[in-house]
Amino acid sequence: MESKIEKIVSLTKRRGFIFPGSEIYGGLANSWDYGPLGVELKNNIKKLWWDRFVKSRSDVFGIDSALLMNAKVWEASGHLKEFSDPLSECKKCHNRFRADDEDFKNGKCPNCGSKEVTSEKQFNMMFKTTLGPVESDENIVYFRPETAQGMFVNFKNVMDTTRAKLPFGIAQIGKAFRNEITPGNFIFRTREFEQMEMEYFVRPEEAEEKFEMWRDEMKSWMEDVGINLKHIHELELPDGERAHYSARTIDFEYDFPFGKKELYGLANRTDFDLKNHSKASGVDLKYKNEDSEAFYPFVIEPTWGVDRSVLAVLCDAYDDSDPKHIVLRLKPKLAPYTAAVFPLLANKPELVEKAREIYDDLRGEFSVALDDRGNIGKRYFSQDEIGTPYCITVDFDTLNDDTVTVRDRDTGEQERRKIDELADFLRKGIS
């Protein structure tokens, strides 16, 4: 029997959501490519996040910073020294694994069971490369392991150009790279992934209050994208287990099919980053208010993995209670296609032509599919499997009264609607 994650991997491959990376060359371990439907789902998640946390808020400013940054950034941020995982190697099978891995019990290799393992070594997870044609130490740069530092190094630029007053946030969506020792579990842990991050700068005395505010915002976001809060567990990280910069961290863990694991994080990074960048760069990154009081703000950092969002959303949406009829119960606003348009019969040119007309009208504003393969039942099943919330069928009555049948994915109900009201109906559906 296939496990739930195997079923999701297989559906997403079969229907064009997610493909193994570099597949025609035998793949590249743990790399994945988003296909035509996957990129729509992922973009819908990112757009929802941007609209909600950047565009619709007057206290948050968006940026898009470079993936490669001056190496001094990583020295000042502590990543060169601290951003490492403990690594052990099995002397027998030579597999390497994280020494803090759950499977690594009593110094036993999780792969072959041998007890002959090397002692722990710290392994820095940043990807190194060189700038320009000369490979020398001065030219070494690192791919960013988090988007956050882009926000810190632009703190002054954003403040100067926007005249932002505390509290305010700087946010971005972008790729991050980590040379993970044990990537795996599909898109859960990869070496190249995307983050949606927010650095929310506050007065030190309001850090706790704003931490709680973001805690609520994060939960509300999860509900909004269809993640069942029953599958979420908040884990307050004790001293000694937090990242080197954090005074308080909550991990939002999700019941993935392969276990309870981190989905998102929320941290109080204090004034660690701004202070260190000030010191290292010589540029004053203090905030100055009207009374010319100058101080380092604290920063509350809610962080969301894009790929883990896609995976959690897929896991909660996947419904195979009838194994012959799989339904992805995605929130309509996240579904790759908002609607699919069908001619009742594919061999009647007048129906096909009318269906195409409706499809052409709607696709300027909505993501819509046109499907005339097989019979209508098969088309419904096929759209259900990719989560399309509404199916629009053109039949002979359409030609006389300009109405169509709209079938709802979740209730299966069919209603007659006027063609010129369809856009309004879909707009409401995805709001």
- Nearer to ligand ATP by C-beta: 241 or 420? 241
What lies within 8 Å, CB to CB, of 323 at 6+ separation is none
- Cβ nearer to ligand ATP, comparing 243 with 423: 243
List Cβ neighbours of 206 (8 Å cut-off, separation of 6 or more). Answer: 167
Indicate whether 307 belongs to the interface with ligand ATP (CB under 6 A): yes
Query: How far is 377 from 382, CA to CA, in rounded Å?
Result: 9
Q: Does residue 189 interact with ligand ATP by CB under 6 A?
A: yes
**Which range of residues in 32-40, 50-58, 300-308, 356-364 is near ligand ATP by CB under 6 A?**
300-308
Backbone dihedral region of 132: left (phi > 0), alpha (psi from -120 to 50 degrees) or beta? left
Segment 195 to 214, residues that bind ligand ATP, using CB under 6 A: 195
To ligand ATP, the closest distance from the beta carbon of 305 in angstroms equals 2
Q: Measured between alpha carbons, how far is 392 from 379 in angstroms, rounded to an integer?
A: 11
Confirm or reject binding of residue 308 to ligand ATP (CB under 6 A): yes
Q: Is 79 among the residues that bind ligand ATP (CB under 6 A)? A: no
Residue 379 annotated in ligand binding? no
CA distance 15 to 244: 42
Whole-angstrom Cα distance, residue 31 to residue 29?
A: 6
Question: Binding to ligand ATP by residue 180, rule CB under 6 A?
Answer: yes
By the rule CB under 6 A, 172 interacts with ligand ATP: no
Q: Determine if residue 292 is left, alpha or beta; phi over 0 gives left, psi from -120 to 50 gives alpha, anything else beta.
A: left
**Closer residue to ligand ATP, CB minimum distance, 215 or 286:** 215
**Residue 190 assigned to a binding site:** yes
In this structure, how many other beta carbons lie within 10 angstroms of the beta carbon of residue 207?
A: 22
Q: Does 180 carry a binding-site annotation? A: yes
Cβ proximity to ligand ATP: between 302 and 336 the closer is 302
Both structure tokens of 297:
């703000």
CB of 428 to ligand ATP, least distance (A): 32
Q: How far is the CB of 185 from ligand ATP (least distance, A)?
A: 9
Binding status of residue 101 toward ligand ATP by CB under 6 A: no
Q: What is the smallest separation between the CB atom of 193 and ligand ATP, expressed in angstroms? A: 4
Q: Of 31-39, 188-196, 334-342, 390-398, which part binds ligand ATP (CB under 6 A)?
A: 188-196
The residue among 78 and 429 lying less far from ligand ATP, judged by its C-beta, is: 78
Question: Cα(364)–Cα(368) distance, rounded to whole angstroms?
Answer: 9
Question: Cα(170)–Cα(155) distance, rounded to whole angstroms?
Answer: 8
N-to-C CA span, the chain: 38
264 binds ligand ATP (CB under 6 A): yes
Q: Kindly give, in sequence order, each residue whose CB lies less than 8 Å from that of residue 193, ignoring residues fewer than 6 positions away.
A: 175, 176, 178, 187, 305, 306, 307
Please state the closest distance from residue 187 (CB atom) to ligand ATP, in A: 7
* DSSP symbols for 328-366: E---TTTSS-SEEEEES-TT-HHHHHHHHHHHHHHTTTS
Q: Is 379 one of the binding residues for ligand ATP (CB under 6 A)?
A: no
Give the residue closest to ligand ATP by C-beta: 305
User: Could you say whether residue 193 binds ligand ATP (CB under 6 A)?
Assistant: yes
Return the number of the residue (266 or 376) whose C-beta is nearest ligand ATP: 266
Angle at 192 between CA 29 and CA 43, to 5 degrees: 115
> What's the 3-state SS for 54-103?
HHCCCCEEECCCCCEECHHHHHHCCHHHHCEEEEEEECCCCCEEECCCCC
- Identify the residue among 305, 332, 387, 389 touching ligand ATP (CB under 6 A): 305
Please report whether residue 168 would count as binding ligand ATP according to CB under 6 A.
Answer: no
Contact flag: residue 124 with ligand ATP (CB under 6 A): no
User: Is 269 an interacting residue with respect to ligand ATP (CB under 6 A)?
Assistant: no
The nearer residue to ligand ATP, 148 or 369, going by C-beta atoms, is: 148
158 is in an annotated binding site: no
Nearest residue to 312 (alpha-carbon basis) of 229, 385, 191: 229
Instruction: Return d(Cα 335, Cα 234) in angstroms, integer.
Output: 27
Question: Per the annotation, where are the binding residues for substrate?
Answer: 98, 146, 193-197, 301-305
Question: Per the annotation, where are the binding residues for ATP?
Answer: 178-180, 188-193, 262-263, 305-308
In the complex, the residues that contact ligand ATP under the rule CB under 6 A are: 146, 178, 180, 189-190, 193, 195, 262-265, 303, 305, 307-308
